[in-house]
């Protein structure tokens, strides 16, 4: 627990160093592609007022100066499976992005989808020490949250305080300075498999890069695909990737739940390859060019050539109708969406005031998916594309880059996490002088 | 270790792997070595990152070439013989260019100078004509010419056709200055023009004498101009104590002029002379230094006469 704090704090320090240097790389390690963006932060001109967000929703401070995508290798279900392969893929992406940016990048913020994320809601409550709530009270209430049994071999990826309550007032964003007696906090904790994080750290170290932060892909794609009022009123973002489908629920601009289904677009491709007996590359091509989930009468007449290189002329010259293709794809898509439905039900999404669902990620580009999703998930479904940020190439504005763009937002304006707050004074063993000072101040 | 999963049997681009069909002509092209891994090797990755480091980039792109250039030049010029050869070659080329006929000066033309000055200027030319115009230091030559006393100003132009034209303004003598060493001609500013052997050869010029007289030539000229009516009697001006003038007339008469405003004193003298025939009187000195009281020193003879007239003569009475 403590060492995780230390590593998270170290990553925050690294991120600060990267901001000072002005260049940071973002790595979205997905199952089907690895995307790398290079951000340049403009130095703070000091022109805008300190409390305002600034122009372009605060995104004018950074600019994408390099972007590269490479076919992912060695990643399954959003987790690193073959380390050497993944390392090579990361090197390819980073090198191309560096070349485009024409600068050297040393700091990387990475996101991945898999590693079995699990969400916990934590609550803590303390008496306020003085008359006003101060930083130390916030630190103590966060420390008072009882740690759930997250299990062996798991690590905390995100720990967001989502709500503060003071006496009978709830929904405080910032309790500091308020007058009250009992301070309570709700926190959202996201844990993932520790081995996956270790693998990721190892891979990135092997590429001579410094890790300046790790994020869950579901979380960051929610940051970029949900518009601001959806984040405020409550919405679920479903990031349909290649090997895993991430689900994140946002409320009051905080993530309150995240999980992932270990199914994605690659499974659809695999189904097509198995069903039509074609190579995976051909299956992928057929899926992207002719795929769909709603068959119409027209689709019976639209024939798709199946190329193959088996050497058997009869086999290589087959044709299937688009309806057949849809017949293969649809059950798998339904299965994914039903699993997502199950996750949302388990999370109690029904009880949220807003039932907005946003589909994003590369697999969400299947034509007709929104109609199918509306029948399974609920009526308020839309397809989401990532926010537009400065300098992003046109090729990287599609739904598949939601988590890469979300990483940019995450890098520029990270939400406060547990480790960004002060450490409560009681836990600081070595700082006895400060404790003595506090004791004096409290008693005289 | 190789991964457990087998290598793909077929290349992703299907057509390239197909065996050539029977009817097709076999093209003797070696199959391109298949690049199996698009990823950069660790070394390539590191080298590229090193190359993208700004410091390394600037060192390589500016520092190294400059260093190589300086090193090469230093090594090459380290040898004495090579350096001397380089200098000699440079000098050769320089001389060859300077001695081209376009740059040669063959004729010296002097305008506005008398025969003596002309001869002196020709003698002073530092190089033997014809010479390259690069060898003639016009500025130094001009200063040298201007150092001649008889020359007021000189301008030098090299005209096309190898003509060096010297335009000289000579000083005109305005006054003569008698010094212990001889007779000098001075111009209106008091600058020496030439030595005069014989006073009689320039009877038109007035004469001044005394130490420091040359420094006050304009004043002397003004005084003489004012003394125009009595000029026929004037022998010259004598500078006294380097501050004032004496106007010397014939018959050993001296008129002592004040240091300040001598012209007015002369005018006054003329007026006195016109009114009272002053200058015809027998005196040796007329002192005009004190404006309010001109003083006359009579000659011994006149003084005797004067005393006789006024009965002031001391008559020694022989008392019995």
The model's pLDDT over B168-190, given as tens digits with 9 standing for 90+, comes to: 888 888 888 888 888 888 888 88
Q: If you search the block for the tokens 């080329």, which residue do you land on?
A: B93
pLDDT of residue B19: 45
ipTM score here? 0.72
Q: CA A68, CA B37: separation in Å to the nearest integer?
A: 17
The two beta strands, A356-360 and A381-383, are parallel
Which residues of chain B lie closer than 8 angstroms to A102, CB-CB? 52
Which residues of chain B lie closer than 8 angstroms to A208, CB-CB? 45-46, 49
Task: Provide the H-helix boundaries in chain B.
Answer: 14-17, 42-52, 54-58, 64-77, 80-98, 115-124, 138-146, 217-226, 262-276, 300-310
Q: What is the pLDDT of residues B23-76, one digit of tens each?
A: 445 545 555 555 567 778 888 888 888 888 888 889 989 999 999 999 999 999
Q: CA B97, CA B132: separation in Å to the nearest integer?
A: 10
| B306 and B212 housed in the same domain | yes
What are A119's strand-pairing partners?
Answer: A190
Q: CA A424, CA A186: separation in Å to the nearest integer?
A: 17
| B111 and B155 housed in the same domain | yes
- Phi first, then psi: give them for residue B288, nearest 5 degrees: -105, 15
| B151 and B186 housed in the same domain | no
**Percent of residues, chain A, with pLDDT higher than 70:** 92
Which of A70, A91, A103 is opposite residue B45, by nearest beta carbon?
A91
pLDDT at A338 over 50: yes
| B183 and B159 housed in the same domain | no
Residue B33 counted as domain residue = no
- Phi first, then psi: give them for residue A34, nearest 5 degrees: -115, 120
Q: How many residues are there in chain B?
A: 320
A330 and A293 Cβ atoms separated by less than 8 Å = yes
| Ranges of each domain in chain A | 119-193, 265-324
* Domains contained in chain B, number: 3
Last residue of a domain, one of B113, B143, B170: B170
Sheet containing strand B163-170, edge to edge, reads B107-111, B163-170, B151-159
| B124 and B61 housed in the same domain | no
Q: Which of A310, A438, A101, A91 is nearest to B40 (CA)?
A: A91
Residue B93 counted as domain residue = no
pLDDT of residue A332: 92
Q: What is the CA radius of gyration of chain B?
A: 49
The per-residue pLDDT of chain A, averaged, comes to 85
pLDDT of residue A429: 57
Which residues of chain B lie closer than 8 angstroms to A104, CB-CB? 49, 52-54
Chain B contact residues (CB < 8 Å to A): 3, 10, 12, 14, 17-18, 37-40, 42, 44-46, 48-49, 52-54
Q: What is the topology classification, in CATH, of domain A119-193?
A: Dna Ligase; domain 1 (3.30.1490)
Q: CA B38, CA B36: separation in Å to the nearest integer?
A: 7
Task: Identify the CATH number of the domain in which residue B259 sits.
Answer: 3.40.50.11690
Q: CA B134, CA B157: separation in Å to the nearest integer?
A: 13
Higher pLDDT, A262 or B20: A262
Contacts 24+ apart (CB under 8 A), A152-155: A153/A193, A153/A194, A153/A195, A154/A118, A154/A191, A154/A192, A154/A193, A154/A194, A155/A4, A155/A191, A155/A192, A155/A193, A155/A194, A155/A197
Q: What is the topology classification, in CATH, of domain A265-324?
A: Actin; Chain A, domain 4 (3.90.640)
Domain with B280 in it: 175-310
How far does the CA of residue B33 sit from the closest CA of chain A (Å)? Answer: 20
Residue A368 at interface with chain B, using a CB cutoff of 8 Å? no
Residue B26 counted as domain residue = no
Last residue of a domain, one of B151, B170, B189: B170
pLDDT of residue B170: 84
pLDDT at A371 over 80: yes
> Would you place residue A278 in the very low, low, confident or very high pLDDT band (cuts 50, 70, 90)?
confident
Per residue of chain B (320 residues), give pLDDT as tens.
Answer: 666 766 666 555 544 444 444 444 554 555 555 556 777 888 888 888 888 888 888 998 999 999 999 999 999 998 889 999 999 999 999 999 988 888 888 888 888 878 888 888 888 887 777 788 888 888 888 888 888 888 888 888 888 888 888 888 888 888 888 888 888 888 888 888 888 888 888 888 888 888 888 888 888 888 888 888 888 888 888 998 888 888 888 888 888 989 888 888 888 888 888 888 888 888 888 888 888 888 888 888 888 888 888 887 665 556 65
**Percent of residues, chain A, with pLDDT higher than 90:** 22
Residue B83 counted as domain residue = no
Residue B95 counted as domain residue = no
Q: Find which of A104, A206, A207 to mutate to test the B interface (most B CBs within 10 Å of its CB).
A: A104
Calculate helix-pair angle for A83-101, A194-206, nearest 10 degrees: 50
Q: CA B213, CA B222: separation in Å to the nearest integer?
A: 14
Residue B10 counted as domain residue = no
pLDDT of residue B18: 46
Residue A280 at interface with chain B, using a CB cutoff of 8 Å? no
Would you state the structure tokens that stand for residue A386, as one six-digit string? 């990532």
Which residues of chain B lie closer than 8 angstroms to A88, CB-CB? 37, 39
Q: Residue B312 to residues A37, A245, B315: CA-CA distances in angstroms? A: 132, 152, 9
Task: Identify the CATH number of the domain in which residue B125 sits.
Answer: 3.10.20.310
Which residues of chain B lie closer than 8 angstroms to A94, CB-CB? 45
Q: Do A85 and B52 touch (CB under 8 A)?
A: no
pLDDT at A48 over 70: no
Q: Do B17 and A99 touch (CB under 8 A)?
A: no
For B278, the 3-state DSSP assignment is: helix
Which residues of chain B lie closer than 8 angstroms to A89, CB-CB? 39
Q: Find which of B49, B58, B60 to mutate to test the A interface (most A CBs within 10 Å of its CB).
A: B49
pLDDT of residue B21: 46
Which of B10, B38, B46 is opposite residue A309, by nearest beta carbon?
B10
| B182 and B264 housed in the same domain | yes
Q: Do A307 and B14 touch (CB under 8 A)?
A: yes
Task: Provide the H-helix boundaries in B11-63.
Answer: 14-17, 42-52, 54-58
| B300 and B206 housed in the same domain | yes
Residue A309 at interface with chain B, using a CB cutoff of 8 Å? yes
Which residues of chain B lie closer than 8 angstroms to A99, CB-CB? 48, 52
């Amino acid at each position: 627990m403590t060492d995780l704090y230390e590593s998270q704090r170290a990553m925050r320090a690294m991120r600060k160093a990267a901001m000072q240097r002005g260049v940071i790389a973002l790595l979205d390690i997905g199952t089907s592609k690895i995307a790398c963006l290079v951000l340049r932060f403009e130095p703070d001109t000091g022109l805008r007022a300190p409390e305002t967000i600034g122009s372009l929703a605060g995104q004018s401070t950074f600019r994408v100066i390099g972007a590269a995508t490479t076919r992912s290798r060695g990643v399954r279900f959003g987790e690193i499976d073959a380390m050497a392969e993944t390392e090579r893929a990361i090197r390819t992406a980073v090198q191309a992005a560096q070349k485009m940016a024409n600068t050297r990048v040393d700091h990387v913020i990475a996101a991945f989808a898999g590693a079995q994320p699990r969400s916990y809601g934590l609550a803590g409550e303390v008496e306020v020490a003085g008359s006003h709530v101060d930083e130390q009270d916030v630190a103590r209430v966060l420390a008072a949250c009882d740690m759930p049994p997250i299990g062996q071999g798991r690590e905390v990826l995100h720990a967001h305080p989502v709500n503060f309550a003071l006496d009978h007032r709830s929904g405080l964003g910032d309790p500091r300075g308020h007058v009250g007696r009992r301070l309570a906090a709700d926190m959202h904790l996201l844990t993932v498999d520790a081995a996956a994080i270790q693998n990721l750290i190892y891979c990135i170290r092997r590429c001579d890069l410094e890790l300046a932060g790790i994020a869950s892909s579901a979380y960051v794609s929610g940051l970029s695909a949900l518009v601001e009022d959806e984040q405020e009123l409550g919405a679920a973002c479903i990031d349909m990737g290649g090997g895993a489908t991430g689900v994140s629920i946002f409320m009051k601009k905080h993530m309150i739940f995240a999980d992932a289904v270990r199914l994605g677009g690659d499974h659809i491709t695999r189904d097509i390859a198995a069903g039509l007996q074609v190579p995976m590359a051909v299956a992928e091509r057929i899926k992207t060019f002719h795929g769909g989930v709603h068959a119409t009468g027209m689709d019976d007449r639209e024939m798709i050539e199946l190329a193959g290189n088996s050497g058997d002329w009869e086999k290589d010259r087959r044709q299937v109708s688009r309806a057949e293709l849809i017949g293969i794809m649809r059950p798998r898509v339904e299965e994914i969406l039903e699993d997502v439905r199950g996750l949302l039900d388990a999370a109690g999404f029904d009880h949220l005031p807003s039932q907005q669902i946003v589909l994003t990620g590369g697999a969400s580009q299947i034509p007709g998916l929104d109609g199918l999703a509306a029948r399974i998930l609920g009526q308020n479904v839309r397809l989401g594309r990532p926010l537009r940020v400065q300098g992003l190439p046109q090729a990287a504005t599609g739904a598949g880059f939601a988590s890469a763009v979300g990483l940019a937002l995450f890098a520029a304006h990270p939400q406060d996490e547990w480790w960004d707050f002060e450490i409560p004074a009681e836990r600081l063993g070595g700082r006895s002088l400060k404790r003595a000072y506090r004791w004096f101040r409290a008693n005289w | 270790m190789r991964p457990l999963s087998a290598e793909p049997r077929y290349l992703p681009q299907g057509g390239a792997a197909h065996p050539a069909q029977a009817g097709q002509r076999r093209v003797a092209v070696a199959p391109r070595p298949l690049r199996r891994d698009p990823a950069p090797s660790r070394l390539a990755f590191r080298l590229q990152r090193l190359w993208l480091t700004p410091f390394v980039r600037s060192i390589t792109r500016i520092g190294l070439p400059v260093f190589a250039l300086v090193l090469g030049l230093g090594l090459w010029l380290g040898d004495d013989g090579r350096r001397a050869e380089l200098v000699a070659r440079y000098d050769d080329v320089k001389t060859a260019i300077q001695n081209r006929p376009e740059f040669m000066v063959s004729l010296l033309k002097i305008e506005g100078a008398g025969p003596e000055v002309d001869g002196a200027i020709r003698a002073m030319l530092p190089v033997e004509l014809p010479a390259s115009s690069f060898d003639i230091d016009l500025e130094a030559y001009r200063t040298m010419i201007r150092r001649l006393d008889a020359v007021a100003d000189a301008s030098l132009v090299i005209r096309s056709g190898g003509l060096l034209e010297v335009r000289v303004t000579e000083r005109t003598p305005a006054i003569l200055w008698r010094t212990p060493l001889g007779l000098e001609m001075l111009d209106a500013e008091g600058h020496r023009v030439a030595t005069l052997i014989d006073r009689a050869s320039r009877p038109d010029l007035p004469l001044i004498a005394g130490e420091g007289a040359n420094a006050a030539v304009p004043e002397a000229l003004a005084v003489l101009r004012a003394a125009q009516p009595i000029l026929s009697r004037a022998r010259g001006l004598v500078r006294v104590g380097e501050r004032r003038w004496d106007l010397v007339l014939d018959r050993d008469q001296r008129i002592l002029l004040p240091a300040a405003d001598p012209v007015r004193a002369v005018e006054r003298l003329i007026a006195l002379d016109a009114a009272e025939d002053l200058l015809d009187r027998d005196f040796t000195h007329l002192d005009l230094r004190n404006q309010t009281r001109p003083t006359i020193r009579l000659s011994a003879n006149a003084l005797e006469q004067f005393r006789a007239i006024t009965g002031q003569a001391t008559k020694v009475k022989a008392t019995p």
